[in-house]
Amino acid sequence: MGIWFSLVAVAALILLGLLGANVSGLNYIFAVVIPYIAITLFIVGSIVRIVRWARSPVPFRIPTTGGQQKSLSFIKQNRLDNPSSYLGVLGRMALEVLFFRSLFRNTKAELKEGPILTYGANKWLWMFSLAFHWSFLIIFLRHFRFFTQPIPFFVPFLQDIDGFFQIWVPLIYMTNAVILAALTYLFFRRVFDSKIRYISLPSDYFPLLLIAGIAITGILMRYFFKTDLVAVKELMLGILSFAPSAPSEGLSLWFYLHLFFVCSLLIYFPMSKLVHMSGIFMSPTRNLANTNRMRRHVNPWIDELKMKPHTYEEYEDEFRKVMKGAGMPLDKEESHVS
């Protein structure tokens, strides 16, 4: 169901993009107006999400304990998995953002004959996710040749590395093959694994298909159906310098589709799971050092909210009978209560 919904949504976007490319009166709207709307919604939407996260109370540390916390001197602390300093937090965050460390440690559960529940390594997901994200980033950074004049120093550098194998004219970029392979894996993993299909929603399939649409139209444009790259750059520089010019005739249908997909992604981004890109930095389980035992953490809003502390003793007094009835261990038996 989710797959079909997403396929129909992407098909609708293709039809709209084709309309924008073929109806001359709509060219300006699709090449200029929609990109402005998309950039604005992306920026405003992302800021709203970040401000909302930043405003949610985090009164105490939430350590996800992947290792031993700082304790007595003779117990070895795991400084990266359970950091007690901000340097450690920086290390944990860097490993998470750059290498998806928690995904690397992810396991998958399978029911084997017996039935026996087994837990095994799941490195394919980690490998393809990492390959996808790195390819996306490199492709995006290479695109700066369309967005800035002069071209930033890292663009030729990335182009050289990415086109290292020097196959075909124009040179085939490794990232183009990798992103397609990774997207194929990530999509079919959801389609063919019944457990994952069961928990997958349209919001899981749609972004994969949309990004595949961007990659495929880009690849078609680079290797098979040429578009006027000077016209593309003129258009982009015009938009980014707030002096947009009318789109040139040289812009191909594939370019309109590519750009429309990118705009759809920008608009969809802040309201979708894709905001994990900024969310990871705001995640209390990642960005807080575990100082729970070293420092006393007092809820800073306790006076403001006129919250009366409710101690465990009081809690037990309140629920002693029920707890006893349920056979739960008690600190004080009824007869000892003064």
Binding region for ligand HEM (CB under 6 A):
136, 139-140, 142-143, 146, 173, 175-176, 214-215, 218-219, 221-222, 227, 229, 232, 236, 255, 258-259, 262, 265
147 vs 319 by CB, closer to ligand HEM: 147
232 vs 289 by CB, closer to ligand HEM: 232
218 vs 270 by CB, closer to ligand HEM: 218
Query: In a 3-state reduction of DSSP, which class is residue 178?
Result: helix
Q: Tell me the closest approach of the beta carbon of residue 33 to ligand HEM, in angstroms.
A: 15
Cβ(332)–Cβ(316) under 8 Å? yes
What ranges in the chain are assigned the alpha helix state H?
A: 2-22, 27-28, 34-55, 86-99, 101-104, 123-142, 144-147, 154-162, 174-192, 194-199, 202-223, 229-240, 253-268, 276-279, 284-287, 312-325
Residue nearest to ligand HEM (CB): 218
Q: Tell me the closest approach of the beta carbon of residue 163 to ligand HEM, in angstroms.
A: 10
Cβ–Cβ contacts within 10 Å for residue 248, how many? Answer: 14
Q: Tell me the closest approach of the beta carbon of residue 306 to ligand HEM, in angstroms.
A: 49
93 vs 236 by CB, closer to ligand HEM: 236
Cβ–Cβ contacts within 10 Å for residue 129, how many? Answer: 17
How far does the chain reach from its first CA to its final CA, in angstroms? 62
Q: Tell me the closest approach of the beta carbon of residue 227 to ligand HEM, in angstroms.
A: 6
CA neighbor of 181 nearest in space, from 121, 122, 134: 134
Q: Tell me the closest approach of the beta carbon of residue 219 to ligand HEM, in angstroms.
A: 5
186 vs 221 by CB, closer to ligand HEM: 221
Q: Tell me the closest approach of the beta carbon of residue 133 to ligand HEM, in angstroms.
A: 11
Which residues are paired to 110 by β-bridges? 118
126 vs 260 by CB, closer to ligand HEM: 260
